[in-house]
Chains A and B, each alone.
Chain A
Amino acid sequence: MITEARSLLILFALLLAGPAPADITALVGATVHPVSAEAIENGVVLIEDERIQAVGADLPIPDDAEVIDLAGLHLYPGFVHPATQLGLTEISSVPGSVDTDEMGSINAALRAEVSVNHDSALLPVAVAGGVLNAHIMPGGGLIRGTSAMLRLDGWSWEEMVLQTPTAMHLAFPSGAAGDEDNEDLALIDETLEKARHWHAAEAAAARGEAPRPARNDQLEALGPLLAGEVPLMIHANGIAVIETALDWAEAQQFKRVILSANADVQYAAERLAADGIPVILRGVYNMPVRRWEAYDMAYVAADRLHQAGVLFAIGDSGGGMDVANARNLPFHAGSAAAHGLPKDAALKSVTLWPAEILGAGDQIGSIEPGKQASLFAATGDPLEPMTKIRRVWIDGAEYDLMRDRHRRLYQRYRQHQQAEAR
């Protein structure tokens, strides 16, 4: 226990010391890939506290800066995972460790971030793969609740939250394609209508014109969506479902819509570009949606979106095996580049573009002054599986890569194997 007198003494000492000097780190010697601009050979990145202060070729380095020499390495902004359930699941076959999908149809009031396990063993593995920010989504029902953009480090989920709510999530019912009487869609419509009335009543009550409506957590949670303060992320797979969902969203007059979809989204590219609806492409490593389609149908989807002028981010399925392997996100983008997508677009599709689509473009996604200093040093092009990631910083603090369980096991058993061989 710290006594009151002693804590006063500490406070006094702190006041005498004045403001702590800014903590400045200079990353030097690496080729800097800002993503938002051309690469800078032998560049300098100055980090002050948690933010990037300056980026350039010949920057003066403050005397008190900690200088870190990264000669021979390449600096990239952290990958931004656009759609995953990292932190919500640990071992997917062990139900007690899984908090991905709530039961029921209307779960608007759920907030994904509150069940993020900040000590999940999956997180350091993702970080060691360069995924430093992730958009975490709730999974169950039709209206699924709100998601959050996280930094993948922190002493609690509260410290991990970069921004919330990021979007309200809707699983568009696939049965609504070609069926005007679809019951699930009717339930969604009815819920949204109720929410509009509930909020109108609430507003009237606030003006003193009516009694307050009965509390309703689900309807209340839909307020920011209806007010246009939070975008709606629509999850739809298959072109018929996608088109039905887009028609529906247009009729509902949502201000901001983001579409999360499978490779079939390429068939709606022109419309999406015209309507200015951004897309989260849910993975490149997929089979063609139909048996008769070309073998590379899913591989070329990103390039089709790009050519049509759609703003898009590349993700993965976000569930199942892909949660533990969120670290493979950059390879999805690289494979899209093998099948037509320009390399610089591939890199943006897992850094700057997901940040922009999810409303965090002013904070993450590129190495630019003012942004969070979340970046990594790699031996080469990080979309290449052969490349090794050597050092990582999240919000200005270097991340201890030995927190990655895989590296610890590797070190332990390699030492054992070498000792046995002697």
Chain B
Amino acid sequence: MKRLTLALAIAAFVTLPALADWTPDIEAWNSAPPPQPGAVVVRGATVWTATGAGILENVDLLVRDGRIAAIGESLDAPANAVEIDAAGMHVTPGIIDAHSHAAIIGGVNESSRISTADVRIRDVIDAESINIYRQLAGGVTAINLLHGSANAIGGQMAVIKMRWGAPPEELVFDAARPGIKFALGENPKQSNWNNDTPRYPQTRQGVEQIIRELFQQAADYRSAHENHPEGRAGRDQVPPRPDHRLAAVAEVIYGERDVHSHAYRADEMLALMRIAEQFDFTIRTFQHVLEGYKIGPQLAAHGAGASVFIDWWAFKQEAIDAIGYNPALMHQAGVLTGLHSDNPELARRMNLEAAKAVRYGDLDEHTALQLITAFPADQLGVGARTGRLAPELDADFVLWNGHPLSVYSRVEQTWVDGRRYFDRAADERMRESLAAEHAELIALAQASEDESSDDEQGNAESETDSDADPGKRRRTMSFASHLTGYRASELDHDEYCILHDH
């Protein structure tokens, strides 16, 4: 056994490509994880720490064994350290997206019941989603995969790190606090679709009522289980029937699972906070929070965080009062505020969403960057592991070729756990190898087509066949022209698309 492990270790050592020529693949299953160097030093960069240290100019960042070891001027690095000359470049923490549906197999909504608290995203993580690689190319290093908002309680979320090439269970970010998606307003009350068989509730007060009732049931359920005697005494009584839905809701009451609730309007957020206070727990975050700026002090007093679209508005009635100044106002009110994507394309440019928090409401640039790094990390309970650049934290960071909030800047490298998962140079190598493979396949296809047409010329029967169905070839071509290679689960899932039947 020991020998086998050793042999495997040697094999891994031998077959793993060196960092310099590591090349990702467009298919996760075929993409070897990038090596983790024992030490990496990024020299002479402008480092945005997302901590109280602020922005440090012309400093080095030292990484050892996947963790940040030091940040400072002219750091000593081990002789074998991978050296990166980052003069003129900026380094930021990896971007954390607290609201995503970008890597979920199948449907995002288990919308059948008003509560589907028992269903779990971690069972359906799509490790093969091309969104993971593309978001790495936008500097994203961790995302929160959430259910949709079709029902009041959508299901249990999963926070993943963007380890392209790893199987689903290895994407899961274990440090994250368990969470559950709630939803309020137009979506759970089914305002925007024709429903032949409407279910309760159809109003905001109905949504409030049913959530309150679910918490009552969950509290009773948990106490029934806790009151069931252990040992000999318990054997003489019928135990309470297990119910995974109520068990998950009960975890919320007992502080073991966080609520992240989709919400737009001030009224519905106040109502959910009051239920939580009645059951003595705190709503961890509201998601979207379009009218959060109207109740900033109340959100802060309750302790709810806010995860926000910065400028989506007017796409439904409840989004008519959404304003770009929302994050700035909430931040100033003391609300733990972050920006999210809710859309796999938008997720690729979260730095520009942060820039808009400077435009709308005058946040300083460093605070604006914290809206997509430190603050969402804190919301997900991973702030002690990622989202900032400081010693001991995971080496999740991004190298930009310019100011990270500038529209003219681009991501050059993205590191997760001290591994370089995205690199423009490696991406170029991948393009070349894909182009070569493409040319090879086309040549093979053409060769086989030539062969078969030779066959047809010598075969009257097949010629008759093709005459009998002259449309056949055209349809094939037409079909091919529409092939894009995407799977449905990789395409847009967001508030707008769900509501507008896209």
A residues lining the B interface (CB < 8 Å): 90-94, 121-122, 125, 174-175, 177-181, 238, 240-241, 285-287, 289-292, 294-296, 320-321, 323-325, 327-328, 331, 334-335, 337-339, 343, 383-388, 405-406, 409-410, 413-414, 417, 420-421
| B345 adjacent to chain A (CB < 8 Å) | yes
| Contact sample, A vs B, 6 pairs, CB 8 Å cutoff | A92-B314, A174-B482, A177-B478, A294-B427, A385-B356, A409-B293
User: Are A287 and B345 in contact, with the CB atoms below 8 A?
Assistant: yes
- Given contacts A92-B314, A93-B192, list 7 more A-B pairs with CB under 8 A: A292-B434, A296-B137, A386-B355, A386-B365, A388-B359, A406-B323, A413-B296
Secondary structure of the A contact surface, majority rule:
loop
| B346 adjacent to chain A (CB < 8 Å) | yes
| B130 adjacent to chain A (CB < 8 Å) | yes
Q: B348 contacts which chain A residues (CB < 8 A)? A: 295
B399 CB to nearest chain A CB (Å): 15
Which residue of the partner chain B has the closest CB to A89? Answer: B314
User: Are A94 and B482 in contact, with the CB atoms below 8 A?
Assistant: no
| B244 adjacent to chain A (CB < 8 Å) | no
User: Are B361 and A291 in contact, with the CB atoms below 8 A?
Assistant: no
State A372–B324 Cα separation when bound (angstroms): 30
User: Are B481 and A238 in contact, with the CB atoms below 8 A?
Assistant: yes
Select which of B137, B408, B427, B485 is within 8 A of A291 by beta carbon: B485
A408 CB to nearest chain B CB (Å): 9
State A125–B321 Cα separation when bound (angstroms): 12
Q: B502 contacts which chain A residues (CB < 8 A)? A: 320
State A383–B352 Cα separation when bound (angstroms): 11
User: Are A384 and B316 in contact, with the CB atoms below 8 A?
Assistant: no
Question: Top 6 closest A-B pairs, CB basis?
Answer: A334-B407, A291-B485, A240-B481, A385-B355, A324-B314, A93-B316
User: Are A335 and B349 in contact, with the CB atoms below 8 A?
Assistant: yes
Q: Known contacts A91-B316, A122-B314, A291-B484; is A410 also within 8 Å of B407 by CB?
A: no
User: Are A90 and B359 in contact, with the CB atoms below 8 A?
Assistant: no
User: Are B315 and A93 in contact, with the CB atoms below 8 A?
Assistant: yes
User: Are B329 and A417 in contact, with the CB atoms below 8 A?
Assistant: yes
| B297 adjacent to chain A (CB < 8 Å) | yes
Which residue of the partner chain B has the closest CB to A241? Answer: B481
| B173 adjacent to chain A (CB < 8 Å) | no
| B281 adjacent to chain A (CB < 8 Å) | no
User: Are A384 and B407 in contact, with the CB atoms below 8 A?
Assistant: yes
| B294 adjacent to chain A (CB < 8 Å) | yes
Which residue of the partner chain A has the closest CB to B296? Answer: A417
User: Are A325 and B312 in contact, with the CB atoms below 8 A?
Assistant: yes
State A383–B355 Cα separation when bound (angstroms): 12
Q: B431 contacts which chain A residues (CB < 8 A)? A: 294
State A295–B427 Cα separation when bound (angstroms): 9
Select which of B133, B361, B407, B409 is within 8 A of A295 by beta carbon: B133
Q: A386 contacts which chain B residues (CB < 8 A)? A: 355-356, 358-359, 365, 405-406
Q: Which of B356, B407, B483 has the most CB of A within 10 A?
A: B407
Q: B191 contacts which chain A residues (CB < 8 A)? A: 93
Q: Known contacts A92-B500, A179-B478, A321-B496; is A291 also within 8 Å of B312 by CB?
A: no
User: Are B297 and A93 in contact, with the CB atoms below 8 A?
Assistant: no
Q: Known contacts A93-B499, A324-B315, A384-B406; is A290 also within 8 Å of B355 by CB?
A: no
State A386–B332 Cα separation when bound (angstroms): 18
B402 CB to nearest chain A CB (Å): 8
Select which of B137, B316, B352, B360 is within 8 A of A331 by beta carbon: B352
B453 CB to nearest chain A CB (Å): 18
Which residue of the partner chain A has the closest CB to B354? Answer: A385
B113 CB to nearest chain A CB (Å): 24
Q: Which of A91, A181, A290 has the most CB of B within 10 A?
A: A91
| B313 adjacent to chain A (CB < 8 Å) | yes
State A405–B320 Cα separation when bound (angstroms): 10
Q: Known contacts A294-B427, A294-B431, A324-B313; is A93 also within 8 Å of B478 by CB?
A: no
Select which of B134, B323, B346 is within 8 A of A409 by beta carbon: B323
Q: B410 contacts which chain A residues (CB < 8 A)? A: 338-339
User: Are B332 and A385 in contact, with the CB atoms below 8 A?
Assistant: no
Which residue of the partner chain A has the closest CB to B138? Answer: A295
B348 CB to nearest chain A CB (Å): 8
Q: A324 contacts which chain B residues (CB < 8 A)? A: 312-315
State A93–B477 Cα separation when bound (angstroms): 37
Q: Which of A91, A93, A174, A335 has the most CB of B within 10 A?
A: A93
| B279 adjacent to chain A (CB < 8 Å) | no
Interface residues of B in 315-329 (CB under 8 A from A): 315-317, 319-321, 323-325, 329
Q: A291 contacts which chain B residues (CB < 8 A)? A: 26, 130, 484-486, 490
Which residue of the partner chain B has the closest CB to A284? Answer: B349
| B474 adjacent to chain A (CB < 8 Å) | yes
State A156–B408 Cα separation when bound (angstroms): 38
Which residue of the partner chain A has the closest CB to B325? Answer: A410
Interface residues of B in 399-437 (CB under 8 A from A): 405-410, 427, 431, 434
Which residue of the partner chain A has the closest CB to B310? Answer: A385
Select which of B26, B360, B408, B490 is within 8 A of A292 by beta carbon: B26
Q: Known contacts A90-B314, A338-B408, A388-B359; is A320 also within 8 Å of B496 by CB?
A: yes
Q: B294 contacts which chain A residues (CB < 8 A)? A: 413
Q: Known contacts A122-B314, A290-B484; is A385 also within 8 Å of B478 by CB?
A: no
Q: A338 contacts which chain B residues (CB < 8 A)? A: 407-410
| B333 adjacent to chain A (CB < 8 Å) | yes
State A413–B291 Cα separation when bound (angstroms): 10
Q: A290 contacts which chain B residues (CB < 8 A)? A: 483-486
Write the B459-484 contact mask toward A (1 if CB under 8 angstroms, else 0).
Answer: 00000000000010011011001111
State A91–B345 Cα separation when bound (angstroms): 22
User: Are A420 and B137 in contact, with the CB atoms below 8 A?
Assistant: no
Interface residues of B in 285-316 (CB under 8 A from A): 293-294, 296-297, 311-316
Q: B438 contacts which chain A residues (CB < 8 A)? A: 292
A27 CB to nearest chain B CB (Å): 22
User: Are B297 and A417 in contact, with the CB atoms below 8 A?
Assistant: yes
Q: Which of B359, B471, B496, B500 has the most CB of A within 10 A?
A: B359
User: Are B311 and A328 in contact, with the CB atoms below 8 A?
Assistant: yes
A420 CB to nearest chain B CB (Å): 5
Select which of A286, A383, A406 is within 8 A of B407 by beta carbon: A383
User: Are A420 and B297 in contact, with the CB atoms below 8 A?
Assistant: yes
Q: A93 contacts which chain B residues (CB < 8 A)? A: 186, 191-192, 315-317, 499-500
State A92–B313 Cα separation when bound (angstroms): 10
Select which of A178, A285, A327, A417 is within 8 A of B474 by beta carbon: A178
Q: Known contacts A179-B478, A410-B329; is A295 also within 8 Å of B312 by CB?
A: no
Q: B311 contacts which chain A residues (CB < 8 A)? A: 325, 327-328
B294 CB to nearest chain A CB (Å): 6
User: Are A178 and B316 in contact, with the CB atoms below 8 A?
Assistant: no
| B344 adjacent to chain A (CB < 8 Å) | yes
User: Are B427 and A384 in contact, with the CB atoms below 8 A?
Assistant: no
